[in-house]
Amino acid sequence: MKPDQSLRSPNALSAALQRFGNGFVELPLWNRRPVRTLALVLALFMFALVVTVPLEFWQQVGFVTTCIVLAMWLNRVEGHLATLMMVVLSVAVSSRYMYWRLTETISLGNWVDAAFGIGLVLAELYAFVVLLLGYFQTAWPLKRRPVPMPADSATWPTVDIFIPTYNEPLSVVKPTVFAAMSMDWPRDKINVYVLDDGRREEFRAFCEKVGATHVTRNHNRHAKAGNINEALKNTHGEYVAIFDCDHIPTRSFLQICMGWFIKDRKLAMLQTPHYFFSPDPFEKNLRTFQEVPNEGELFYGLVQDGNDLWDATFFCGSCAIIRRAPLLEVGGIAVETVTEDAHTALKLHRKGYGTAYLAIPQAAGLATESLSGHVGQRIRWARGMAQICRVDNPLLGPGLSLPQRLCYLNAMLHFFYGLPRLVFLTAPLAYLLFGAHVIQASALTIAIFALPHMLHANMTNSRIQGKFRHSFWNEVYESVLAWYIMRPVLVAFVNPAAGKFNVTPKGGVIEEAYFDWVISRPYLVLLLFNLLGVVVGLLRLFVWHQEATTVVLNLAWTFYNLIILGASIAAASETRQIREAHRVAMKLPATLHFGDGRAVVCETIDFAEGGIGIRLPHGVEAQVGEPVQISLYLQHDEHMFPARVVFQGESHTGLVLAEMSPREEMAFIQCTFARADAWIDSWGRKRPDAPGMAAGQILRIGLLGFHNVMFHLSREMRRLLRRPEPGASAN
């Protein structure tokens, strides 16, 4: 192959780039400190030049075109070095934009312009800082692999498994307890504790029957954190594994996770992802389950893995192991804030202990049911991070490395997105409705600075996050929550002690499809203002014949905002939850035993509490009402469960399981949810991001939002007309 040919193909180039990068980094001259300092100073100087040099309009066009072409070309090249180069380009272009915004586009002359202008530039500054911190945080995900345990299990440490619960029904907690008791670990070195803050007799009896320990206390101070701390006093295992009561661990959890503690004596906490086998409200209401990465996936897929490089993985409250001694050293789980988990990790880091992240789903649970529940949970996180910011600011205080401080800073700053997001959703209205010139520059100049800034950021993030967050979805997720987390965050920031703790409700039933008017109220208001803005904008354009390019630019922005708002509103249309127990898709080999002695090979389709969906071979049918037995397998072991046929469709047979003994229930959990490989196949396997496709999807969902508003509005109208008495509206 001729060299010019190999350079033309991006992936041959990738290898060349990688070789060059490695060679460059390993040059012996980097071992000398003065050389490194000199290189850094030189690079900073060049960077400052790129950011600050004033350019004429066409020169700026030339600069950004070069950058964008380079980035698009790099985007086709595989490999980490190309990603980092794209990050450098994005940072350069965005920095140049911010510098220009701050130095040339703010006018303090007219108070309307000044107020809106400063508001917008502050919001942009926030977004810029979060962009930079995000690049830093996810620059090089560690992708840690498990370390095997030593062969002699006699040397393995003792582990206490804590399952804190407060008001969740026993049916939700049972599978978790059974799975915890089934973990592959020496029997005499594992103890399962159900920490029951509800102090329920039913739980005590259940624990006694199955051999777990029921732990209670006589008060509920500090909620979950207090519950765990109380249990720490009366237990003695060297390690504590914590599971939310609805996170069912797999049997391999400890064997996969514990190896790192043996290898790294300074390791105090290891976190695994929170995997959800039911759709969250976004996935449910927008029908994107298992298609579009959900809100949490970016965090567990990328952010935590990125944090891990900097030894800054946070504890997330569940599906994690903590070494007892360091935990006691920092006074147990933190109780000063409502995000006790992240705060505990911060305290461990301050003491010089390490944390780790293992991106292998080794537990799974129910996602929050309704949007209001979801919002409530995020409010708690946001409040907690704001509280940490006030009472134990990671930028200050001892013990942290700079990267750790930056990772924590980003985690906190992240939750301040509420206000900036609302600013972006209303910014074009400042001009359209009030005629304020928020950016003191011509529309074309704004375009030539702002568009490349956004394009680079989107392209680079799509490449870095593509598997875990699709383009534009960030805007939707943030927009829905913006209004709600804005106030609690600001309140908590001003007064960390204010507000109350809320527990997320799970496993409920949404009786009827409805539109959450309460939760979508702020977005309906924003929607109306934006629609008004469009009307006024069109008037300015066609009737009053005002500054055409400025009007068009602001109108385009408004249309974008309308789509995002439409999508946010679509997320508030709660679809009906048909079953109380969620169906969890899981394909497993099975055998169906008929009453007449026939045994037929089949495959399971999905599981729900008390039921199984199976696919029988072609030509085999079951009679509805027929008693049968279904065998499930755990490697070689076969377990048979009595059941009854309740549904026979074309390719799907529904069974309802008979009442099970605790022993059978345990076997059932082992054969299904606690399988070592239960969730691995679904992790990080979603379609990678394609920005064009994502844009189309958001557009569709945005229009769906408008349609939903109209539909529910007319329904409400009819209802009101039929029943004219006051107070008989929705919900």
Partner 1 sequence: MKIIAVVSAKGGVGKTTLSANLAEALTMAGEHVLAVDLDPQNALRLHFGMPPHEVSGHARATLAGEAWQQSMYRGRSRVVLMPFGALNEADRSAFEAHLVTHPGWLRTQLGTLGLGRDDVVVIDTPPGPSPYMRQALSCAQLCVMVSLPDAASYATMPLMEDLIRTYCEGRPDYLGHVLVINQVDVSRQLGKDVVQVLRAQLGERVLGVIHQDQSVAEALAYDRSVLEYNPHSQATHDLQRCAAWLRRVMAAHGEAA
Interaxial angle between packed helices 473-494 and 418-434, expressed in degrees from 0 to 180 and rounded to the nearest 10: 110
Cα gap 345→472, rounded to integer Å: 31
CB of 596 to partner 1, least distance (A): 6
3-state secondary structure of 610: coil
CB of 594 to partner 1, least distance (A): 8
**Residue nearer to partner 1 on the CB measure, 508 or 589:** 589
Could you give the string, one character per residue 491-520, with x where binding to partner 1 holds by CB under 8 A and - elsewhere?
A: ------------------------------
580 membership: H or E segment, kind and range:
none
Is 648 a binder of partner 1 (CB under 8 A)?
no
Q: For residue 66, which of 442, 452, 445 has the smallest C-alpha distance?
A: 452
CB of 626 to partner 1, least distance (A): 15
Cα gap 431→75, rounded to integer Å: 36
Tell which one of 494, 525, 528, 620 touches partner 1 (CB under 8 A): 620
**Residue nearer to partner 1 on the CB measure, 638 or 681:** 638
**Residue nearer to partner 1 on the CB measure, 597 or 625:** 597
Size of the site for partner 1 (CB under 8 A): 20
**Residue nearer to partner 1 on the CB measure, 187 or 636:** 636
Q: For residue 252, which of 680, 729, 630 has the smallest C-alpha distance?
A: 680
**Residue nearer to partner 1 on the CB measure, 45 or 633:** 633
- Residue whose pair of structure tokens reads 């993985």 in the numeric block: 313
CB of 671 to partner 1, least distance (A): 12
Q: Residue 71 corresponds to which amino acid? A: A
CB of 627 to partner 1, least distance (A): 12
Is 619 a binder of partner 1 (CB under 8 A)?
yes
Query: Looking at 56-64, 116-124, 339-347, 631-639, which segment touches partner 1 (CB under 8 A)?
Result: 631-639
Tell which one of 214, 390, 615, 639 touches partner 1 (CB under 8 A): 639
CB of 639 to partner 1, least distance (A): 7
Instruction: State both tokens at 650.
Output: 């074309």
Residues labelled as active-site residues: 197, 341
Query: Looking at 458-466, 534-542, 629-637, 672-680, which segment touches partner 1 (CB under 8 A)?
Result: 629-637
Cβ(320)–Cβ(234) below 8 Å:
no
**Residue nearer to partner 1 on the CB measure, 188 or 596:** 596
Total residues found in the chain within this entry? 731
Is 638 a binder of partner 1 (CB under 8 A)?
yes
Beta bridge pairs of residue 634:
637
Tell which one of 18, 235, 629, 648 touches partner 1 (CB under 8 A): 629
Concatenate the DSSP letters of all residues of 14-58 into one string. Answer: HHHHHHHHHHHHT-GGGGSHHHHHHHHHHHHHHHHHHHH----HH
CB of 312 to partner 1, least distance (A): 46
**Residue nearer to partner 1 on the CB measure, 122 or 601:** 601
Concatenate the DSSP letters of all residues of 138-194 into one string. Answer: TSS-------PPPS-GGGPPPEEEEEEESS--HHHHHHHHHHHHT-SS-GGGEEEEE
Q: For residue 700, which of 379, 301, 288, 418 has the smallest C-alpha distance?
A: 288
Could you give the string, one character per residue 218-237, with x where binding to partner 1 holds by CB under 8 A and - elsewhere?
A: --------------------
CB of 628 to partner 1, least distance (A): 11
615 membership: H or E segment, kind and range:
strand 611-615
Query: Looking at 149-157, 333-341, 356-364, 635-643, which segment touches partner 1 (CB under 8 A)?
Result: 635-643
Is 34 a binder of partner 1 (CB under 8 A)?
no
Measured in degrees and rounded to the nearest 5, phi and psi for residue 560 equal: -60, -45
Dihedral sign for Cα atoms in the order 300, 301, 302, 306: positive
CA atoms within 13 Å, Cβ hemisphere of 162: 31
Query: Looking at 106-114, 276-284, 614-622, 699-707, which segment touches partner 1 (CB under 8 A)?
Result: 614-622
Is 659 a binder of partner 1 (CB under 8 A)?
no
Cβ(200)–Cβ(179) below 8 Å:
no
Cβ(347)–Cβ(330) below 8 Å:
yes
What CA dihedral angle connects 371, 372, 373 and 376, to 10 degrees? 120
CB of 225 to partner 1, least distance (A): 43
CB of 182 to partner 1, least distance (A): 16
CB of 602 to partner 1, least distance (A): 8
Is 41 a binder of partner 1 (CB under 8 A)?
no
Beta bridge pairs of residue 657:
643
CB of 617 to partner 1, least distance (A): 4
Cα gap 708→567, rounded to integer Å: 10
User: How many separate helices (H) and strands (E) can be counted in the chain?
Assistant: 25, 19
Tell which one of 498, 525, 539, 640 touches partner 1 (CB under 8 A): 640
**Residue nearer to partner 1 on the CB measure, 208 or 621:** 621
Cβ(384)–Cβ(485) below 8 Å:
no
CB of 591 to partner 1, least distance (A): 5
Is 631 a binder of partner 1 (CB under 8 A)?
yes
> What part of residues 571-610 is at the interface with partner 1 (CB under 8 A)?
591, 593, 596-601
Cα–Cα distances in angstroms (integers) from residue 47 to residues 44, 50, 606, in the given order: 5, 5, 55
Concatenate the DSSP letters of all residues of 382-414 into one string. Answer: HHHHHHHHHHS-TTSSSS--HHHHHHHHHHHHH
Query: Looking at 428-436, 484-492, 612-620, 691-699, which segment touches partner 1 (CB under 8 A)?
Result: 612-620
Is 688 a binder of partner 1 (CB under 8 A)?
no
Instruction: State both tokens at 725.
Output: 């008495």
Is 617 a binder of partner 1 (CB under 8 A)?
yes
E strand map for 234-281: 239-242, 247-249, 267-271, 275-276
Tell which one of 291, 580, 603, 637 touches partner 1 (CB under 8 A): 637
Query: Looking at 47-55, 254-262, 293-301, 633-641, which segment touches partner 1 (CB under 8 A)?
Result: 633-641
Cα gap 135→407, rounded to integer Å: 11
Cβ(324)–Cβ(157) below 8 Å:
no
Q: Give me the residues that bind partner 1 (CB under 8 A), please.
A: 591, 593, 596-601, 616-617, 619-620, 629, 631, 636-640, 642
